[in-house]
Structure 1
Amino acid sequence: MPSPTMPDLVSSSAPVVLDTPLARHVLSGLSRQPRTLSSMYFYDEVGSRLFQQIMELPEYYPTRTEFGLLSRHRAAIAAALTPVDGAPLHLLELGAGDGLKTKILLRELLSNGADFTYAPVDISPSALQELSQSLSLELPTLRVQPLTAEYTAALPALSQVPGRKAVLFLGSNIGNFLPPDRLTFLQQLARHLAPDDRLLFGFDLRKDPRHIHAAYDDSQGVTAAFNLNLLTRLNHELQADFELEQWQHFPQYDPLEGVMRSFLVSRRAQQVHVGALGKTFSFAAWEAIHTENSYKFTLPQIEALAQAAGLRVQEVFTDEQHWFADVLLAPAE
C-alpha cells in the first residue's frame, strides 16, 4: 500500500487530538491515496444491529450456510475440539458477535459434559453485553469470560491458559484481511499455541460471482446502510461533518482474485472536516474510500495458507453445496 500522503488535506487551527485508535486510523486512512478505512470500525452499536439484519437477508448466504453446516457437523466438531484426556478446554472466540452460530457448539459441548470455559472476544462492548445476557438466559450453566479487545490484543493471553485452547474464528472474518496481514495474523496466533491446541476457522469458498455480489448489495439497501454507518460513526465520535446523502455504497467482486471489495463513493466534490483531528479533507467527485475486503477461498489456498503459517489442516467441514467451510487447524508437527 502506498505511503501516506496529504495532497488533499487542509489543516485548520483547531488542536489535533489523536488519543484513540479510531482517530489515528482515520487520520492515516484519509491522508493516503487511495483513501481507505478499516471494516473493523463498522461495528459500533448501530453497526452491530445492522449486521444482525444483514445476516437475515435472503441474499446473504454466509451466515445461513455456516449455521447449517455447524448444525449438521456439530457432534464431530465438538468431539474434535474436546481433549480426549478430559482436561479443561478454554474456548476463545474472536469476533463473537451475537454468538448465534457458536451456540450450536456450546450446546453440544454442554450436553457432552465437557469441562470448558467460553471466552468471547469482540471490539463492541454492547455486542458482548447482549451476548452475555442471552447466554445467561439460554445456557445458565455455561462459564463465560467475555473480553472487549481487538483480535491481536487477545492473543498473548492464550499462552497463560491451562489445558487445551481452542480458538474459534467463525463467519468469513478471515477473508477481511489482506493476504500479507492474513498470514501474519495466523503466524502470530500459531506462536501462542501448544501442540494440543486447535483452531476452527470459517472460510467463504469461491462460487458463482453473482451470488457473492448479491450478498453485498442487497435489494433492501441494508448493506449500504451498514457501510454508510461508518461515516455516521465518524460524525458522532470524531466530530466529523460527512453528509451521508453525498456518499454512496459501491460493491465490486473480482473473480480473478476472489475478493469482494466495498467502497464509499463521493457523489460530488466536497470537503469534510473532522473536528477531533483538526483537519479538513478534500474529496473529488466520484472519489472512493475503500472500506472492506472479503476474500473467497479454494481448499488448496486454505491448505497453503495453513502450511505457511506453521499450521496443518486436520479436518474440513462443508455444507452440501460446498459454499462455505469450517476448517479445523492444528499446530504443524
Structure 2
Amino acid sequence: MPQSSILNPATSELAQHVAAGLRKTPKTLSSMYFYDDAGSRLFQQIMALPEYYPTRAEAAIFQQHGRALAAALSPAGSPDFSLVELGAGDGAKTKLLLRELLQGNAAFTYAPVDISAGAMTGLVDTLRRELPALRVAPVVEDYATALTQLRTWPGTKAVLFLGSNIGNFGPAERLNFLRQLAAPLGPADRLLIGFDLQKDPRRIRAAYDDAQGVTAAFNLNLLTRLNRELGADFDLAHWQHYTDYSPLSGAVRSFLVSTRAQQVHIAALEETVDFAAWEVIHTENSFKFTLPQIEALAAEAGLRVVTFFTDAAGDFADVVLAAREG
C-alpha cells in the first residue's frame, strides 16, 4: 500500500500541497505551513527582534487607541457578541484590547483561532491566569475552516486579523479572502485588519532577514517539518534563506535556496525531486500597502472603511471595516 494512502487527513493535505508546489516553476510552498509548534515558537522570537517593527507598531496602536478600538468593535445595542481572532498566536497585542473591553463591561466571548494546538494551549492558559473574568472559546483550525464556520457563527461578531497577515496573500488570494470575510457579516458586525504600510525599503527588508538569523531558522523549519511529517530527506546544510523587497510592487518575497545540485526524496509522495544549484522554493510573500490601496481593496471586496488607526510613525494601520451598505 502506498504510504500516502495511510496518512492522517492533515498530513495528507500537506503532502498534496507539497506535491503540487514542487511541480511548479518556480517551486512554491505556502507560508501557512510555517506554523507547526516549532515554527510558532520561532515566530514569537521574530516578533521580539529589533529589526521586526510591525509587532511594536501595532502594539503602540493598541496602547494609544485601545479605548477607541474597543468602541469601534463593540456593536451598538447588542447584548453580547463574539470577538473572533484569526491566527491568534500568543495574543500579546490582543490582550490590550481584551482588557479595554472588560474594563468597559462589554459582554463578549473571545474566540481565538490558530492552527497550532501548542500555541493555543499556551494562550488559553495565560488568559485564564491574567484575565480570569474573560470567556474564552478556543478554536484549533486553519483559516479556511474557520471562515466556513464564521458563516454559521451565532449572534453579532467582531473579527480580528492582525499582525499584517493580510500581506501574506497575493493580490487575487487577498481579494478572495476578504470577500469570504465580508460574506457572513451582518450590518452590526465588524472586521479589524492589520496592514503594514509602505516605508523605507531598507527597514522593510531588514525585518525579514535579521542579523541573528531567527527569520532564516523560521523559513528553514519548513524543511524540517517536511522531513518529520512526510519522510523527506532535505539536508538543511545545503539550503539557505533569502529575501528581497520591491518598492514598486510592495512585496517582500522569501525563498529557500538550494546551494548545490541535489535530489530530495519524499517518502510520503514516493517521489524524488531534483533541485539545480541555486534553484529556489518561494515560501512567502509579505505585501506592504498605502492607505488609498487599502480603501480600494476594501471597496472591491464589498467592504467599507469605518475608521483606521496608525502608530505615531505611520508604519502600520489597524483598519476597522464593515459590510458595504446597499
Question: TM-score, structure 2 length as denominator?
Answer: 0.96
Instruction: Please show how residues 32-43 of structure 1 align to structure 2 within 5 Å.
Output: 32-43=24-35
Q: 1:59 and 1:302 mapped to 2: Cα distance? A: 25
Q: 2:139 and 2:3 mapped to 1: Cα distance? A: 33
**Shift in Å, 1:277:** 1.0
Q: 1:208 aligns with which of 195, 200, 204?
A: 200
Structure 1: which 5+ runs fail to align? 1-12
1:274 partner amino acid? I
Aligned residue number for residue 220 of structure 1: 212
**Shift in Å, 1:248:** 0.4
Instruction: Please show how residues 292-311 of structure 1 align to structure 2 within 5 Å.
Output: 292-311=284-303
Identical positions, percent: 64
1:115 partner amino acid? A
Deviations 1:280-329 (A, max 9, x none): 10000000000000000000100000000000001010001110000000
1:158/1:165 contact within 8 Å kept:
no
Q: Residue 124 and residue 15 in structure 1: after superposition, are their counterparts in 2 closer, same or farther (change >3 A)?
A: closer
Q: 1:298 and 1:110 mapped to 2: Cα distance? A: 33
Q: 1:16 and 1:156 mapped to 2: Cα distance? A: 27
2:75/2:189 contact within 8 Å kept:
no
**Shift in Å, 1:156:** 3.0
Aligned residue number for residue 56 of structure 1: 48
Q: 1:235 and 1:159 mapped to 2: Cα distance? A: 36
Aligned residue number for residue 184 of structure 2: 192
**Shift in Å, 1:72:** 0.4
**Shift in Å, 1:112:** 0.7
**Shift in Å, 1:29:** 0.5
2:78/2:156 contact within 8 Å kept:
no
Aligned residue number for residue 75 of structure 2: 83
Structure 2: which 5+ runs fail to align? none
2:54/2:196 contact within 8 Å kept:
yes
Aligned residue number for residue 318 of structure 1: 310
Q: 1:258 and 1:215 mapped to 2: Cα distance? A: 14
Aligned residue number for residue 4 of structure 1: none
**Shift in Å, 1:15:** 4.7
Secondary structure at the counterpart of residue 277 of structure 2: coil
**Shift in Å, 1:32:** 1.4
**Shift in Å, 1:161:** 3.3
Q: 1:30 aligns with which of 9, 18, 22?
A: 22
Q: 1:86 and 1:111 mapped to 2: Cα distance? A: 17
Instruction: Please show how residues 1-333 of structure 1 align to structure 2 within 5 Å.
Output: 15-17=3-5, 19=9, 20-333=12-325
Q: 1:258 and 1:199 mapped to 2: Cα distance? A: 23
Q: Residue 32 and residue 159 in structure 1: after superposition, are their counterparts in 2 closer, same or farther (change >3 A)?
A: closer
Deviations 1:56-96 (A, max 9, x none): 10000000110011110000000111122142110000000
Aligned residue pairs, count: 321
